[in-house]
Amino acid sequence: MELIISNSSDVPIYEQIKEQIKTKIVTGELKAGVILPSIRTLAKDLRCSVITTKNAYEELEKEGYVYSIPSKGFYVSDISREIAREEQLNKIEALIDTAVEIAKLNNIEKKTIEQMLDILYEEDQ
Amino acid sequence: MIGFMKKDIAMIKNNLKVLGVLVAFYLIMGLFGEIDMSFILPFMSIAIMISTFSYDELNNWNSYAATFPNGRKNSVKARYLTTVLIILIMTVITIILSLFISYTLNKSIDLEMTFLNMLAMIFGTALVQSFMYPIIFKFGVEKGRIMILVVIFGTVIVGGLFSSVVDLSKILNFLGVFENHWPLVLIVSSIAILYISYLISLRFQLKKEF
Amino acid sequence: MENILEVKNLNKKYDNFELKNVGFNLPKGMIMGFIGENGAGKTTTIKAILNIINNYSGKVKMFGLDNTKDEQKIKEDIGAVLDDMFFSEILTPKDIDKIMKGIYKNWDSVMFNNYLKEFSLPNNKVIKTFSRGMRKKLEIVTALSHHPKLLILDEPTSGLDPVARSEVIDIFQDFIQDDDCSILLSSHITTDLERIADYITFINDGEIVLSKTCDELLEQYGIVKCGEKEFKKIDKKDYIKYKKNAHEYDVLIENKKEFKKKYNVQVIDKITLDDLMVLMIKGVK
């Protein structure tokens, strides 16, 4: 599992770990049932403290992405992908919400926004 | 404890070149008939052990050793046992060299006197070391140096005067009580003073602040 | 969580310095960074824990045992690296292996020799020929090769170049892969600790100023930079210390979130252990 942690970022390290694992779950790189590296191994690989990785895993567990089996480790949960997708969709919705608000405020019709979306999607491909 | 002794011996071994040069120097002096070979025993034993103390001090070995299980006690114990071992080895070397020199110079040798002389040297060496070690354990080689120098020079001068002025056989007569028991008396008293010295050093070491 | 090391009410007086009620706990499986200025009392505390100084009061427990009553038993399970204390320089790593076999019950020659290979330390050259980095590495692997449960290290990274420091930190992280093992490590180079330390204990002038998880510390504490006007508005109980610079005030605060709310500040600088140390020592209340 490859995670890239920035030391100088304002985002705390455990948060960075959490977010990157989530992304890996959404993209399918981490599949349901897969065991995550132990908190100690991960701490060593990332050169961070054990408490940091422990925090990250425990929060992921709270949010339902992973579950733990005592003395075995943390596993990616079956519903992790749905949760992750849900969360991402929520984020997108919130952003679109803002976009639509601005559009309405300025009398920009829906069609134009749709066109914009199409263009943006194509650009990416 | 074994480990601590192995350390002392390893240090002496790694310093063998310097020690070899010293012995060779002695041997040459002896061949010119300048020196009584039996003095190799005290000089070399003391030189070897002092250099061990200094090397240890240079890297604060005693403080480091105090972090080991039974470190304080065993580092002292080992030092005394190594001392005994070195005295024995130096005795053998001294005897061999003495025989070699008297053979080369065609001198006759009084075996009984040589034997007694050696025992007296062992006793003298043990005595000096018994004085020195507690001082070193308490103050270190650096600070204890002046005190030690006094002890060494004092002993050498007294020893020198002693052997030149006094006829050994006279003392033997004087201490006639011990007749026939001389070797035993010297050996027992050597061991006794070293043991007492060990107890004092140990006490210093156990109370030491590292 | 079970503590591997408990220090309580440690007091020790010297002519010009004293330890005052030093206390902290180190849980199993964790690395604790012990920070403070030179002369703040790190080494004295470590020496008291190891019981190599006398005439101190207080209690030290390791593995649940008293450090004086069960000293010899405890010491089988401790590995110590102290500043400027080691084997004589005329010895070789090979000698050390033989010697340690006679000192620790659990000395592991295979492990020791593997470490020597791993760090390219020559087996039969005298220590005198080693560079400072090599020496430090040798000291550390020597402390590790009897399978200790607790490593106590006084300034293990000082004087090392960044590459050697990074190698040494790797060793520490390898060591705590076993969650029964812990490390207490003093340093005045805080960047090493910021990432790998689980706990930070900060000693200043013989007193423990704080002992917390590193994450908590870096997340909650902060520095507010402001002008004199703004500074005057800050309630005294809302900051720990401040330092007046030429044009601005550096104000050390304990809770970024609450401070942001209360004073309606947008940006509070992230804190580093270095900032914390400087402000704690040089700052005023």
CATH number, domain containing residue C75? 3.40.50.300
Secondary structure (3-state) at B70: coil
Q: Do A48 and C195 touch (CB under 8 A)?
A: yes
C144: closest CA of chain B, how far (Å): 13
Instruction: Say what the pLDDT of residue B85 is.
Output: 96
Determine the average pLDDT of the residues in A4-24: 86
Q: Given a cut of 70, is residue A7 above it in pLDDT?
A: yes
User: Rounded to a whole number, what is the distance in Å from the CA of B5 to chain C's nearest CA?
Assistant: 8
When comparing pLDDT for C230 and B91, which is higher?
B91
**Chain C environment of A52 (Cβ under 8 Å):** 198, 214-215
Return the pLDDT at C248. Answer: 85
How far off is chain A from C168, nearest CA to CA, in Å? 12
Q: What domain range includes position C269? A: 221-282
Q: Determine contact: C103 vs chain B, CB below 8 A.
A: yes
SS3 call for C65 = strand
- Which chain C residue shows the shortest CA-CA distance from A12? C219
Residue A125 above 80 pLDDT? Answer: no
Domain boundary among C213, C243, C259: C213
Q: What residues have CB less than 8 Å from B116, skipping those under 6 apart?
A: B168, B182, B183
C interface mutation test: which of B2, B5, B59 has the most C CBs within 10 A?
Answer: B59
Q: How far apart are CA A105 and CA C182, in angstroms?
A: 60
Whether C208 shows a pLDDT value over 90: the answer reads yes
Same domain, C209 and C278: no
Burial A55-92 (b: 16+ CB within 10 A, else e): bbbbebeeeebbeeeeeeebbbbeebbebbeeeeeeee
Residue of B nearest to C12 (CA): B209
C32 lies in the same domain as C170: yes
At B104, is the pLDDT very low, low, confident or very high (cuts 50, 70, 90)?
Answer: confident
Regarding whether C237 and C180 lie in a shared domain, the answer is no
The answer to whether residues C253 and C132 belong to one domain is no
Query: Does the pLDDT at position A83 exceed 90?
Result: no
Point out the domain boundary residue: C213, C236, C253: C213
Taking the C-alpha atoms of residue B45 and residue B48, their distance in angstroms, rounded to an integer, is 5
What ipTM, to 2 d.p.?
0.89
What pLDDT was estimated at residue B178? 63
Tokens 């920009």, residue located:
A108
Written as one letter, the residue type at C142 is T
Res. C6 pLDDT band, cuts 50 70 90: very high
- Statement to judge: residues C115 and C243 lie in one domain: no
Q: Which of B51, B74, B195 has its CA nearest to residue B136?
A: B51
Task: Classify burial at C156, counting beta carbons within 10 Å of its beta carbon; exposed 0-12, middle 13-18, buried 19 or more.
Answer: buried
- Are C41 and C179 contained in the same domain? yes
Q: Is the CB of residue C284 less than 8 Å from the CB of residue C243? A: yes
Domain count, chain C: 2
Q: Residues B186-210: what's their mean pLDDT?
A: 93
Kindly state the average pLDDT of the residues C132-138: 91
Distance from C-alpha of B155 to C-alpha of B161, rounded to nearest angstrom: 10
The DSSP bridge partners found for residue A68 are A74
Q: What is the residue-wise DSSP string for B148-206?
A: HHHHHHHHHHHHHHHHHHS-HHHHHHHTGGGTTTHHHHHHHHHHHHHHHHHHHHHHHHH
Residue pair B33/B94 in contact (Cβ under 8 Å)? The answer is: no
Kindly tell me whether chain B and chain A come into contact, counting contact as 3+ Cβ pairs under 8 Å.
Answer: no
CB contact under 8 A, C101 and B11: no
> Domain end: C177, C194, C213, which one?
C213
Q: Which of C196, C257, C267, C270 to mutate to test the interface with A (most CBs of A within 10 A)?
A: C196
Please indicate, yes or no, whether residues C9 and C126 belong to a single structural domain of this protein.
yes
